[in-house]
Each structure stands twice: as structure tokens, then as C-alpha cells.
């Protein structure tokens, strides 16, 4: 049984995978029109239309931007920050997609930088990356527009760069995907986070933008601690800072990518896929979960009286195998921190599974039934999760 105790290794790096202290505050606030939805949804305050609603989301690339910084300092290649732009935007757009907002989205980005370490050429690539990524989405039929952003020179706050974004959409209330509808009897379809989708230029390792503080320190060698002290928190114990076996240009075991390429793989965007699925099967899709913070345990927050069973997971990507081997991180924590093979899952009627998988195949994204929902076995009816893979069996509760 997995408890709410999180590994000291993760906490000592100043990170919480479950963010329980955040939920302790926000869970008691107004939850909006659809309390069970993936994102908070409010009345349409922009136009006052009672048939519509507003959704706004703010997130960013997190410490993944530090990896781009390391690559830039090591190679001089500022174009690496184009991927950082995508990382920040996708962490918002994919969350919005999970409530059905797949079109007419407006985004804005904020860059907090140390101008001494993050000069104009890097900033130019970051901005160009935003426009390039959004243009690619529009080519796929997703209407999303940038309204600019803000660049703040805050050298006292950051040694490198922080890239955050905000996305806003208005949608018909009748088209909202409300995860409160997740109930027993549904199939869980997982969509791979790795490989190469049709809208990606390179093979994707699947790492996304979650767990990168630990991934960076557990895989990369102490040389980076010495060369780039601005990329780490001095309060992190020395033995947990850049304590891995690899340099960024070394091959990642079991992969065609180097370690640096794997860690820097731009976060895959699922919005075009979600738009296609909902356009054909909206009434048969009960919920969508973006397996971001919380990894494979994210689903615990959605549905009522549900036992989530995941017993047919996709293969674990080489990048996650390398992280676990280098760090000795427990299976329990790996599945709570990382997506471990799929970063989006649809909760749908079993009758449409074949169609959903076929739609994903058209985007070059592997998909399969990874599990199902059953009635809760807890005396209080609370949600819980069972993960089975070979001889591995993990159990998580809502308090995990």
C-alpha cells in the first residue's frame, strides 16, 4: 500500500509531486461551474452569455528550461529554446483540451530571465519558437492565437530563465468535458508520450515537463554542478545535486537519442488528437486526464466512487528506465512523478475504443486500452488506483 509519504529524495530538492499543501488551500475555494472538471470553469465573464463559460489556465516549462540553458551554454545553440516555448504552451493547452477547449484559445507568455546569462539571441529564439509552434497547430486546424507577453529581467530571482504561459478560452457549456462523469464501466485509453507524431520534427523521448528537477539531477553528472552553479538551488544537499552518470552528449541506453536530446524532447501536444476524437465521439467520452503533476496517479482526483485499474500499460520509455536505474527511485514514486509511457488518457465507452485508437494512429501516436474503471472497494467510496505491470503491483489512494 502506498501512503501519502513522498520520498525524501524528491522533497529535499524542493519539489512536491502531489502538491498537497497547495490542494489544502485551493480545494476549499469555489470550484466553479463544473467542480469535477480537469480545470476550473467559470461563468462567461467576458461576454456574459449564459450558454457559454470561460476557462483560464496558467503553467510553464518549469525547470526544463534549465536543461535548455545547459545545452545552450555547452553548444552555443540558442535554437534549443524553441522547444522550451512549446513546453510552456503545451502544459496549458493540453490541460484546456481535457475540458473540451480545443479551439479559439488565446495565449500569452511571461519570460523571467537573468539577462547576464540569458541574452538577446536566446530570447529571440524563445519568442520565435512560440510563433512557430502556434503556426504548426493552426496548420492542423487548431485555432490558437498569441496576444504577446512580458519579458522581465529579474536577475535576483533567477540565475537562468523561467518560461510561463497563460491560455484563455470560451466554450459552450454543453461541450464541456466534465470528469465528474467518470464512473465504473469505462475503458481507459492511453496515448503514448514517446515516438514521433506527425506534427513532431524529431523522435520524442516522452519525458514531457514533469519531474525534470529529479530527472536532471539523477541523470546528469557532477560536472554541471561545478560549471553552472546558477542552475541549482544551493540548499539542495550536495549528494542530490547533479549526481548522475551521464553528460548530455552521451547516448541514452536503449534509445536513438542522447541523454540531452531525451531530456529536452519538447512536450508532445495532444490538442489536435483530442479535437479529432471529440468531433466524432463527444457523447461517448466521459473524461480526459492529462497525466502531468502526479503522473499515473493524476486520475485519482477525478470521478466518484471509482477504482481505476491500469493493468495493460504501454512500454516504459528508455528515459524513465535510465532515471530509475541511476537514482534507485522506487516504483511507487516513479509512477507518481512521471508519465511512464502515456501522458494523456481518455475515459470512454468500450464500444468506441477501436475508433479512438484508429484516430490516434492517424496522428502517428500509439494508443491502446491501458485499463478500466470499476466500482470503488473502499468503505467510504473513495477513489483508488491499482497499477499492475508484470510482477509489479501498486496501490494508491486519494491520500497518496
Per-residue pLDDT at 30: 84
| CA 93 to the chain's CA centroid | 10
Per-residue pLDDT at 19: 56
**Is residue 241 a part of any domain in this protein?**
yes
| CA 374 to the chain's CA centroid | 25
Domain housing 219: 8-397
How many structural domains compose the chain? 1
**Is residue 2 a part of any domain in this protein?**
no
State how far the alpha carbon of 344 is from the alpha carbons of 205, 218, 271, in Å. 15, 25, 10
The Cα 350–Cα 53 span in angstroms is 30
Q: Which three cell numbers stand for residue 186?
A: 469505462
Q: Which three cell numbers stand for residue 396?
A: 494508491
* Per-position DSSP letters for 250-309, written without gaps between them: SBPTTSSSBHHHHHHPPPPP-HHHHHHHHHHHGGGEEEEEE--TTGGGGGGGSSSSEEEE
**Is residue 294 a part of any domain in this protein?**
yes
Q: Which three cell numbers stand for residue 167?
A: 491560455
Supply the CATH number for residue 198's domain. 3.90.650.10
pTM of the model: 0.93
CB-CB contact of 322 with 253 (8 Å): yes
Per-residue pLDDT at 4: 37
Q: pLDDT (tens digit, 0 to 9) for every residue of the chain, 400 residues total?
A: 333 334 566 566 666 555 566 556 666 778 899 999 999 999 999 889 999 999 999 999 999 999 999 999 999 999 999 999 999 999 999 999 999 999 999 999 999 999 999 999 999 999 999 999 999 999 999 999 999 899 999 999 999 999 999 999 999 999 999 999 999 999 999 999 999 999 999 999 999 999 999 999 999 999 999 999 999 999 999 999 999 999 999 999 999 999 999 999 999 999 999 999 999 999 999 999 999 989 999 999 999 999 999 999 999 999 999 999 999 999 999 999 999 999 999 999 999 999 999 999 999 999 999 999 999 999 999 999 999 999 999 999 987 6
Per-residue pLDDT at 3: 37
- 353-357 CB contacts, 8 Å cutoff, 24+ apart: 353/187, 353/189, 355/280, 355/281, 356/189, 356/277, 356/281, 357/189
**Is residue 269 a part of any domain in this protein?**
yes
Three-class SS of 16-27: CCCCHHHHHHHC
Per-residue pLDDT at 5: 38
CA dihedral sign, ordered 18, 218, 74, 233: positive
Per-residue pLDDT at 31: 82
The Cα 263–Cα 218 span in angstroms is 12
**Is residue 337 a part of any domain in this protein?**
yes
**Is residue 310 a part of any domain in this protein?**
yes
Amino acid at each position: 500500500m502506498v501512503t501519502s509519504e513522498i520520498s525524501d529524495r524528491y522533497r529535499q530538492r524542493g519539489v512536491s509531486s502531489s502538491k498537497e499543501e497547495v490542494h489544502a488551500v485551493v480545494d476549499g475555494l469555489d470550484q466553479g461551474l463544473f467542480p469535477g472538471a480537469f480545470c476550473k470553469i467559470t461563468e462567461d465573464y467576458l461576454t456574459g452569455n449564459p450558454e457559454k463559460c470561460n476557462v483560464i489556465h496558467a503553467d510553464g516549462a518549469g525547470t526544463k528550461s534549465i536543461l535548455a540553458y545547459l545545452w545552450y551554454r555547452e553548444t552555443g545553440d540558442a535554437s534549443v529554446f524553441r522547444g522550451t516555448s512549446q513546453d510552456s504552451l503545451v502544459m496549458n493547452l493540453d490541460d484546456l483540451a481535457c475540458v473540451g477547449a480545443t479551439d479559439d484559445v488565446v495565449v500569452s507568455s511571461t519570460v523571467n530571465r537573468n539577462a547576464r546569462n540569458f541574452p538577446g539571441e536566446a530570447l529571440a529564439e524563445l519568442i520565435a519558437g512560440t510563433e512557430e509552434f502556434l503556426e504548426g497547430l493552426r496548420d492542423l486546424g487548431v485555432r490558437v492565437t498569441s496576444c504577446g507577453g512580458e519579458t522581465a529581467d529579474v536577475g535576483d530571482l533567477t540565475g537562468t530563465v523561467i518560461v510561463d504561459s497563460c491560455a484563455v478560452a470560451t466554450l459552450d457549456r454543453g461541450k464541456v468535458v466534465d470528469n465528474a462523469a467518470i464512473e465504473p464501466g469505462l475503458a481507459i485509453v492511453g496515448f503514448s508520450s514517446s515516438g514521433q507524431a506527425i506534427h513532431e520534427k524529431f523522435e520524442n523521448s516522452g519525458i514531457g515537463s514533469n519531474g525534470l528537477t529529479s530527472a536532471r539531477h539523477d541523470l546528469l553528472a557532477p560536472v554541471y554542478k561545478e560549471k553552472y552553479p546558477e542552475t541549482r538551488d544551493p540548499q539542495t544537499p550536495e549528494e542530490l545535486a547533479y549526481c548522475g552518470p551521464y553528460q548530455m552528449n552521451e547516448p541514452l541506453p536503449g534509445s536513438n537519442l542522447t541523454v540531452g536530446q531525451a531530456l529536452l524532447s519538447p512536450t508532445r501536444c495532444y490538442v489536435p488528437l483530442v479535437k479529432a476524437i471529440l468531433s466524432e465521439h463527444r457523447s461517448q467520452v466521459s473524461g480526459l486526464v492529462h497525466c502531468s503533476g502526479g503522473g499515473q496517479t493524476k486520475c485519482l482526483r477525478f470521478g466518484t466512487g471509482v477504482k481505476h485499474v491500469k493493468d495493460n500499460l504501454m512500454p516504459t520509455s528508455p528515459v524513465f528506465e535510465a532515471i530509475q536505474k541511476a537514482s534507485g527511485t522506487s516504483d511507487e514514486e516513479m509512477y507518481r512523478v512521471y508519465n511512464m509511457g502515456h501522458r494523456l488518457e481518455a475515459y470512454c465507452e468500450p464500444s468506441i475504443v477501436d475508433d479512438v485508437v484508429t484516430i490516434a494512429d492517424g496522428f502517428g501516436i500509439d494508443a491502446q486500452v491501458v485499463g478500466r474503471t470499476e466500482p470503488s472497494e473502499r468503505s467510504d467510496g473513495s477513489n483508488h488506483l491499482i497499477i499492475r505491470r508484470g510482477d509489479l503491483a501498486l496501490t494508491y489512494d486519494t491520500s497518496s
